[in-house]
């Protein structure tokens, strides 16, 4: 059992902390946000993740996990401090490392015994070296502090499962001491561990994320071509998926990737390449395709309708994917303002993301249009003139083509996730526009 502190209680830090406790370690989760800490202490998760709250309550009651803003108390005698703070995108595409630097300084000024600092946040190659130097510069006690890289691969929506049953744990270290300590922290998980040097570990994270982003953009690129030449992207993907070199995941065409990782991690790697005098053409192409793809539905709808002014527009799904309340880089955030600008009256449904969306676009008048949040899909569709599907939530997938026909004033659907069968939409008499497939008029 190790005494572990985790800096940052977002999707990565909180899930990691609670899972370390679940595997028997003594964990203190640190955040600067006092409200968040209060909420967590009361057994409530500040983020939506399947199974997280149950594990938080179980391990809090067992005394294995606690939450605090008092970083000094948490770091001073920790065997390891995991850093899981944000590394958001800066205006030039590079990663903002200021949160990492703040935590590094706090660790340096707090630790009173030998400590392994583990960077879980996604950081550009070479950052771990700088963090280690930075900590040495500010250390106040004569103790051994080393930095290890341990990038996180969880996917939001299945974060707890992904952490407890990770396909691999990547650890990047520069000494036997650091490698052994990190391996032994992960020992109770019983998962495959790949041990490399720090820079390779940092690169594995970006290379993996950007490969997935590329796969999505490639399928979207092919989907756009399918539309032009009369092929069906779902049939194409199905045919491709049997080839084990390609695999059967991440072949769905849609309105582009969002979330807190792919958009920023593609830009950060492209930036890193540029800084090193290299042009990363493949990743650059993935970024460009994605940018255009986000507005694909809106552009299709704009060609079909004169204006959205005064129309009742059903918006199904606001989050960047199902299973999360996260809106970062969601397609809805790009499309909804355009619809509002044109005077649309939006009726939006999202089972967990509506609260966060309402912080940006409050219920009622927003510029030329209005937005109303409804608690079920039927309310959103009732008497609507047009419908946009941005997120493939279960409630949206469960809708039948006939329900669109029956509930909407005019059954005109723009589906950014290719949820429904073209044939069934045809049979139901719904005008149906999707991605990379035949349009049903």
Residues that bind ligand NAD (CB under 6 A): 7-13, 30-33, 36, 84-87, 99, 102-103, 121-122, 152, 154, 156, 260-261
Q: In 10 A of CB 363, how many CB atoms?
A: 13
Based on CB atoms, which residue is closest to ligand NAD, 302 or 356?
356
At closest approach, how far in Å is the CB of 324 from ligand NAD? 8
Report the alpha-carbon distance of residue 71 to residue 416 in Å, rounded. Answer: 44
Pick from 181, 172, 179: nearest CA to 202: 172
Active site residues per annotation: 261
Minimum CB distance to ligand NAD, residue 132 (Å): 18
The residue among 59, 67, 63 whose CA lies nearest residue 38 is 67
Query: Can you give the length of the chain in residues?
Result: 441
Report helix angle 331-341 to 296-304, nearest 10.
30
- Based on CB atoms, which residue is closest to ligand NAD, 35 or 176? 35
Angle at 240 between CA 237 and CA 244, to 5 degrees: 130
Token digits for 72? 């000094």
Minimum Å gap between C-beta 154 and ligand NAD is 5
- What's the closest the beta carbon of residue 9 comes to ligand NAD, in angstroms? 5
Which C-beta is closer to ligand NAD: that of 95 or that of 440? 95
Burial class, 242, CB count within 10 angstroms (exposed 0-12 / middle 13-18 / buried 19+): exposed
Q: Are 205 and 122 in contact (CB under 8 A)?
A: yes
CB of 39 to ligand NAD, least distance (A): 11
In whole angstroms, what is the distance from residue 367 CA to residue 390 CA?
Answer: 22
In the bound state with ligand NAD, the residue whose beta carbon lies nearer, of 146 and 326, is 326
Cβ 261 to ligand NAD shortest distance, Å:
5
- Per the DSSP assignment, residues forming a β-bridge with 413 are 387, 432
* Closest CB to ligand NAD: residue number: 10
Q: How far is the CB of 273 from ligand NAD (least distance, A)?
A: 18
Would you say 123 or 425 has its CB closer to ligand NAD? 123
Is 32 or 183 the residue whose CB approaches ligand NAD more closely?
A: 32
Provide the token pair at 326.
Answer: 């996260």
Instruction: Name which of 33 and 424 has its Cβ closer to ligand NAD.
Output: 33
Mention every residue, 6+ apart, whose C-beta is less than 8 A from residue 259.
156, 320, 321, 326, 328, 329, 330
Q: Sheet holding 65-68: strands in order across? A: 65-68, 26-30, 3-7, 80-83, 115-119, 145-149, 169-172, 193-196
Torsion of CA 63, 65, 71, 72, to 10 degrees: 40
Measure the CA–CA gap between 117 and 129, rounded to whole angstroms: 12
Q: Are 333 and 315 in contact (CB under 8 A)?
A: no
Q: How far is the CB of 245 from ligand NAD (least distance, A)?
A: 26
Neighbours of 253 (CB within 10 A): 28
């Amino acid at each position: 059992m190790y005494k572990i502190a985790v800096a940052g209680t977002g999707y990565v830090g909180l899930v990691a902390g609670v899972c370390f406790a679940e595997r028997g370690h003594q964990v203190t989760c640190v955040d600067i946000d006092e409200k968040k800490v209060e909420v967590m202490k009361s057994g409530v998760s500040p983020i939506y993740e399947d199974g997280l709250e149950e594990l938080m309550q179980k391990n809090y009651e067992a005394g294995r996990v606690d939450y605090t803003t008092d970083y000094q108390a948490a770091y001073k005698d920790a065997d390891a401090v995991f850093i899981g703070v944000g590394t958001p995108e800066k205006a030039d595409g590079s990663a903002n490392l200021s949160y990492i630097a703040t935590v590094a300084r706090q660790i340096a000024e707090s630790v009173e015994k030998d400590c392994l600092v583990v960077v879980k946040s996604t950081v550009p190659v070479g950052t771990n070296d700088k963090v280690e130097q930075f900590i040495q510069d500010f250390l106040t006690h004569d103790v051994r502090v080393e930095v290890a890289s341990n990038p996180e691969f969880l996917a939001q929506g299945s974060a707890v499962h992904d952490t407890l049953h990770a396909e691999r744990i990547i650890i990047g270290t520069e000494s036997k001491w650091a490698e052994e300590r990190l391996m032994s922290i992960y020992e109770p998980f019983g998962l495959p561990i790949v041990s490399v040097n720090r820079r390779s570990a940092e690169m594995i994270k970006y290379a993996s994320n950007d490969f997935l982003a590329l796969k999505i953009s490639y399928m979207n690129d092919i989907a756009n071509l399918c539309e032009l030449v009369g092929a069906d992207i779902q049939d194409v993907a199905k045919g491709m998926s049997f080839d084990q070199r390609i695999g059967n995941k991440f072949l769905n065409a849609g309105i582009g990737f969002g979330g807190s990782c792919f958009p920023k991690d593609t830009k950060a790697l492209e930036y890193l390449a540029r800084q090193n005098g290299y042009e990363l053409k493949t990743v650059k192409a993935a970024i460009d395709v994605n940018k255009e793809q986000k507005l694909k539905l809106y552009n299709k709808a704009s060609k079909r309708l004169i204006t959205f002014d005064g129309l009742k527009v059903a918006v199904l799904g606001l989050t960047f994917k199902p299973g999360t309340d996260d809106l970062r880089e969601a397609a809805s955030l790009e499309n909804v303002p355009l619809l509002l600008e044109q005077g649309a009256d939006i009726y939006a449904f999202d089972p967990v993301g509506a609260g966060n969306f309402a912080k940006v676009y409050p219920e009622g008048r927003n510029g030329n249009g209005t937005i109303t949040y409804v608690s079920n899909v039927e309310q959103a569709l009732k008497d609507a003139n047009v419908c946009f599907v941005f997120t493939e939530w279960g409630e949206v997938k469960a809708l039948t083509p006939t329900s669109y026909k029956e509930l909407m004033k005019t059954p005109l659907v723009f589906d950014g996730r290719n949820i429904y069968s073209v044939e069934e939409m045809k049979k139901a008499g719904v005008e149906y526009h999707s991605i990379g497939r035949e349009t049903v008029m």
